[in-house]
Structure 1
Amino acid sequence: MALEFTQATAPTPGGVNEDAVAVGPDFAIVLDGATATGAPTGCIHDVAWYVRNLTGRLYTKLLASDADLREIVRSAVAELVSEHTATCDMTNPDSPSSTVAMARFRNGLLEVLSLADSPIVVERSDGRIDVVVDDRTSHLPSYSRDAVRALRNTDEGFWVASTRPEAADRAVVASVPIDEVRRVAVLSDGASRLPERYGWAWSRFLSALAEHGPAHIISETRSAEQTTADGAFRGKPHDDATAVLCTVLPPGTPSEQAAAG
């Protein structure tokens, strides 16, 4: 089996990118900072620091271990908590946090994990499309800052990677035999807006992603955002956007032969 990865990431226009992306030989990781800008976090580190450091730990563990994806997230969060617990308030619900989206091809399976609202989109060889996403943030009773603060990392609200390793156990996971997979997109929610906000079918989205690449999808998203009236959607008018496309190369294709060599 040979895999081909392409990726792109871009910050909110004029902002700092709090997304992170990492690709290994048989996996892809996308993280998206999930703590509101300006929130009193009780931490000397910013959200980008948390996202980068958690990404690095996940990358190292995915290279070295066949452990369950939830266990990998749990142990990575626990390690990061131990690194800054002496200087930062681990009881603050606004402590820096992140979504997690991962896809791994190993042992005959595609395994995916979504924690919070970053989706993984799987196109099967027969054309079916599966969207795996932890969508609890879409069903909160209130989206005021105080309400979100109270609901973060609770079973009544939603879970993210932050200071509680057990959040990993609430992630949404799925697996598909590799021989049934054509391609996989791992996305932050800023890169999934075309289907989720702007009416694109997932099939159109994946076709554009495969034909033109992740940077094109982000550009199309920015164009759509620019023409959207203020207040048309809940949440930020722009967002950091990250997309990874993984294509399973059919045996015997020139790209597959080159990857195998």
Structure 2
Amino acid sequence: MEIRSISQPAPDRRPPAVNEDLVLTGPDFAVVLDGASAPRVHVDSGCRHTVAWVVMQLATQLATPLLTRSSAPLTDLLADAITAVRASHAGTCDVTNPDSPSSTVTMVRLHPDHIEHLVLADSPIVIRSPDGQITVHSDDRVDLLPDRSLETVRRLRNQPGGFWVASTEPKAAYESVTGTTDRADVDAIALLTDGASRYTERYGHSWDELLDVLTTEGLRQLIERVRRHDSTSTTSGKRYDDASVVLLQGP
């Protein structure tokens, strides 16, 4: 399959514009990560590193087994990556702090007859079949929290009955949404961070329209459309966000 990608920082970031999303692709895989930290600026994360550093370290740990075509399940690859990143800064940071920097993780891996997927937290995968049917693989557990207060998020983060992200708990990998799709049933696949998927999830366009924009007008055009919505939106929450898309298309 042809693999194309784009990743842009939020336009309201002050220089230097640090993109806390990251895209990683290879001949037979694609990964998107979307970094996150505590929603309040003065919360002590217990970590001396930035969100972008944690995202980069996770990507680095995932790259080697994916590039060397490890046969291990995607959940094992992610658990090993989280374990390695935790160990790399356990000596300098409090890796038990529930507000430690974290990331969503979304992956697909191509095989001759099927495609594996993994989704951890709110960066969805959208698949279109040759006959135009749309399937969305998403992890909406953060949307099911009773509220978004700092205390609730801290209490339910990486806990049963709460939501799961890639941070310092390897067990989170095994809470991912996973599955396989026959390759014959796939025409196009999009992996999106929520800065791009908000075209549908916040602004009401269908997933079918989102894929049409990607496959006919291009990845940049989708982000430009999102930014136009962002600039006039009255919806509560973060006005702009980093936005990343990977599109896999073709046989």
Partner of 2:154: 149
Instruction: Give the Å deviation of 1:14.
Output: 3.0
Gaps of 5+ in 1: 250-261
Correspondence list, 1:178-197, <5 A: 178-197=183-202
Using structure 2 for the length normalisation, give the TM-score: 0.94
Instruction: Give the Å deviation of 1:212.
Output: 1.7
Q: Secondary structure at the match of 1:53?
A: helix
Instruction: Give the Å deviation of 1:109.
Output: 1.0
Distance 1:150 1:12 in 2: 28
Distance 2:151 2:161 in 1: 15
Alignment counterpart, residue 3 of structure 2, candidates 5, 9, 17: 5
Q: Secondary structure at the match of 2:147?
A: coil
Alignment counterpart, residue 115 of structure 1, candidates 108, 116, 120: 120
Q: Secondary structure at the match of 2:248?
A: strand
Contact 1:6 1:213 in 2 (8 A): no
Partner of 1:88: 93
Count of residues in correspondence between the two structures: 244
Distance 1:190 1:163 in 2: 24
Partner of 1:62: 66
Sequence identity (%) = 46
Q: Secondary structure at the match of 1:192?
A: helix
Distance 1:107 1:82 in 2: 35
Partner of 1:52: 56
Partner of 1:228: 233
Distance 1:10 1:69 in 2: 26
Task: Tell me the amino acid that sits aligned with residue 78 of structure 1.
Answer: T
Contact 1:137 1:158 in 2 (8 A): yes
RMSD: 1.1
Contact 1:35 1:97 in 2 (8 A): yes
Partner of 2:34: 32
Q: Residue deviations 1:138-163, cap 9 Å, x none?
A: 11001012211111111121000000
Partner of 1:255: none
Contact 2:12 2:240 in 1 (8 A): no
Instruction: Give the Å deviation of 1:107.
Output: 4.4
Task: Tell me the amino acid that sits aligned with residue 48 of structure 2.
Answer: I
Using structure 1 for the length normalisation, give the TM-score: 0.91
Q: Secondary structure at the match of 2:85?
A: helix
Distance 1:106 1:51 in 2: 26
Alignment counterpart, residue 219 of structure 1, candidates 215, 218, 224: 224
Gaps of 5+ in 2: none
